[in-house]
Structure formats: structure tokens, C-alpha cells
Amino acid sequence: MKLVTGNSNRALAEAVVDYLELPLTDCTVKRFADKEIFVEIHENVRGEDVFILQSTSYPANDNLMELLIICDALRRSSARRITAVLPYFGYARQDRKSASRTPISAKLVSNLITEAGANRVLTLDLHADQIQGFFDIPTDNLFSAPVFVRDIREHYDVNNVMIVSPDVGGVKRARNVASRIGANLAIVDKRRPRAGVSEVMNIIGDVEGQACILIDDIVDSGGTLVNAAEALLKAGAKEVSAYITHGVLSEGAGQRIGNSKLKELVVTDSIEATDEVKSTANIRKLSIAPLLGEAIARTASEQSVSSLLD
């Protein structure tokens, strides 16, 4: 078994190989003067089971091209099996036609990964379950819920916690966490007049005097979280925190979260944090390296991965 990484999240790749007690495969992923990407594998991978760890986060197109070219390099080097490990699957929010004459980019990206030579995919908290079916190769979608539940038990009194979904579409994800800790569930009823903008309409559920924890898969601008936190506090919540799998946190989001009424925002390291995010006092990182490492080890040894979801 060998693990290769591009430039999207080297810190996470190093944490995963530390867990697996393996070295990172020596390879070069660089750019020519015109920004073309060049990849060279410096070790023999013939007949090997190779895992490529690469989040397709910002800059999404560069990191996606790195993944595709690494796949091609490994396929042409006679790797026995190539598994694309995508802690964060970019373009996942484009999983359907949102209007006339718009693409389904998540399907296009899944086709590109398959055609580049990937034999299977391992990813985390897909934005929509149907994306798993966009791939014509075996795809394992891990969940961060067990990691979140452990951390919530360590930092909160679960007898006084209310799990909150920031929108109706995320109810299944929030209910999964709520059922694991025996907490009640509330829902923020919001509408989105345009992409990137959300307005809270109502709070469904009694949050009076509760420590509310928002659960979601992606935080980008942070506007939804900030608005939801304010609405929950107005409805009588004692405090509001959030556990989000993928901290996209585009420019300005760190400052927005830092100036908000959120007690803390906990994100995983599926996306490498920017300097702005690292300097924000109420944003905390939770590592998913052990979860990914164990899933990779089980995939390599042909053991069950589904038990990791329990």
C-alpha cells in the first residue's frame, strides 16, 4: 500500500500516514511557468494499492487537475488499484440542475475522476447522498458524526443540548447526531433568495434555555451560521455552537464568525485552514486523520468500512 498526496492538504496527508505508520510516497507535483501541472512519481508503484489524498478545495480547479494528473501518472506506472481519497469533494453543491441551462457539475467531475484512472473513491460527508451514485466505480462515503459525537460528549453536558439543523435539507444529518447522544432536534426554517444569501424565517422546536449545536456539512461565507445563531438566541437559547464537517470559509468568513455570537465553530481538517481561519479565536479544528487512516487501512486489507459509520 502507498499513499500519494498533492498540494491541497499536505498536513492532513502527513497525519494520515502517521496513523498508518507509513511514509508518504515520494513524488513531485509542481507547476511550469505557464502554471501547467507536472507530476512525477519517484518510487516504483507497479502492482501496488495506491491511495491519493487530495481535497478539491480552493483553488478547486488547480487541486482537481492535480488529482486527475496524479491518477493518470499512477495508471501509466502500472499501479494495481488507485483509490481517490477526497476528504472534501468540490463541486458537490452543483448536484442538480438549479435552473434552466445549468450544468450538473458534480456528475461531470465524477466522470473525470473515473476516466483519469481511479478504481474507487473514498470521501467524507458528501453534500448530497445521490452524488455517490454519480460515480460508476465503488464509492465509500464516510460520516463525521462519530467524531462529532465524541467531541460533543467531551465538551458539553449532553443532558442540556439541543441539536439544530440550519435548514430543512440537513435534518437527516442533524438527526443522526441527535440520536447518538439522546438529544432533541430543532430546525431553522430559512429561505435562500439567491446563492450565498440566506434569511431565517422561523425556529421549529423549543430551544428555551438550551445549549444549541448547529450541525451541517459545509460552511462557506458563514452567513447562514451567523443568522441562525442570532435567531436561536432570540428564541431563548442559552448559547449556540456549530459543528461543520467542511470549513470552506471563503475570504472574510473568519472575521464574520469571529465577530458573531457563536460560542465556537468546530470544523474538521478536511480542508486546510487559511491564516485568517487559524487566527480566529472561536474556530476550533477537529482532526479526521484517524477516521480516514482506518478507512484506508480497511480498504487495503479488504475489510468492512461500514462499521466505521456506527
Q: Please tell me whether residue 206 adopts helix, strand or coil conformation.
A: coil
Residue-level length of the chain: 310
Q: Which three cell numbers stand for residue 210?
A: 438550551
| Residues contributing to the annotated binding site for ATP | 34-36, 93-94
C-alpha to C-alpha distance for 249 and 200, rounded to whole angstroms: 20
The gap between the terminal CA atoms of the chain, to the nearest Å, is: 26
Maximal C-alpha separation, the chain = 61
Q: What is the CA radius of gyration of the chain?
A: 20
Contact in structure between 265 and 273 (CB atoms under 8 Å): no
Contact in structure between 224 and 251 (CB atoms under 8 Å): no
| Residues contributing to the annotated binding site for D-ribose 5-phosphate | 192, 216, 220-224
Q: Please tell me whether residue 161 adopts helix, strand or coil conformation.
A: strand
Q: Which three cell numbers stand for residue 143?
A: 460520516
Pick the catalytic residue from 190, 238, 263, 285.
190
Parallel/antiparallel/unpaired status of strands 49-53 and 37-41: unpaired
107 belongs to the catalytic site: no
Which residues belong to the active site? Answer: 190
